[in-house]
Amino acid sequence: MQKLTAEFIGTFWLVLGGCGSAVLAAGVADVGIGWLGVSLAFGLTVLTMAYAVGHISGGHFNPAVTLGLLVAGRFDAKDLIPYWIAQVAGAVVAAVVLYVIASGAEGFTGAEGFASNGYGAASPQGYGLGAALVTEVVMTAAFLIIILGATSKGAPVGFAPIAIGLGLVLIHLISIPVTNTSVNPARSTGVALFADGPALAQLWLFWVAPLAGAALGALVWRLLSDGE
């Protein structure tokens, strides 16, 4: 239960901090943080919670990461579904809190995109399904390689959260224009429940692509590291 609670809290913070920065702060006239600020916010959520509770649960905060670690031989299969449940629950509760906050603004009429992920008309820059699929697979694969490398035996001790957090910042800088950046099915699920538009209908992609990318990244890492 300690591990699952840590995963719940970490994922809650990731969604509240990352998606909250997009919903509440990104578009404010003259002082909004923009895509750069949102990218930094997502990276900082992972960095801070990896140090705070990562030693308890491993600091996954993401169903794709959990699957990737399983494929890499660093996680027990019996814990996969409980971790996924805790992560999705944390994301949904964070989305509820964020909705309560956002709906308190004067003139609130609906959640609109609510930092959800999408393709086609739901893509920030109108990218189609193919581009979204490739982006999410490749970005998640790269994220797993960063995670596995930064936490490997040969890596400097104590610096993994920094590398992983900065890696997530870079991933967002690349892919926000394409899909609004998922690489995390729990993050996509939580906000999709409240978003207007096609977020729920398109949610399948933001499970399939990150999970496939995570497995791919783990396999690549095993080839690089001889299964370390």
Provide mean pLDDT across the span 195-200. Answer: 95
Residues 122-137 pLDDT 10s: 999 999 999 999 999 9
Residues 27-81 pLDDT 10s: 888 888 999 999 999 999 999 999 999 999 999 999 999 999 999 999 999 999 9
For residues 205 and 132, the answer to whether their CB atoms sit within 8 Å is: yes
Euclidean distance between CA atoms 206 and 188, whole angstroms: 7
* CA 154 to the chain's CA centroid: 26
How much is the mean pLDDT over the chain?
A: 95
> How much is the pTM?
0.94
Q: What φ, ψ does residue 109 adopt, rounded to 5°?
A: -125, -5
User: pLDDT band at residue 25, thresholds of 50, 70 and 90?
Assistant: very high
| Homologous superfamily of the 2-225 domain (CATH) | Glycerol uptake facilitator protein. (1.20.1080.10)
Q: Which residues contact 226 (CB under 8 A, 6 or more apart)?
A: none
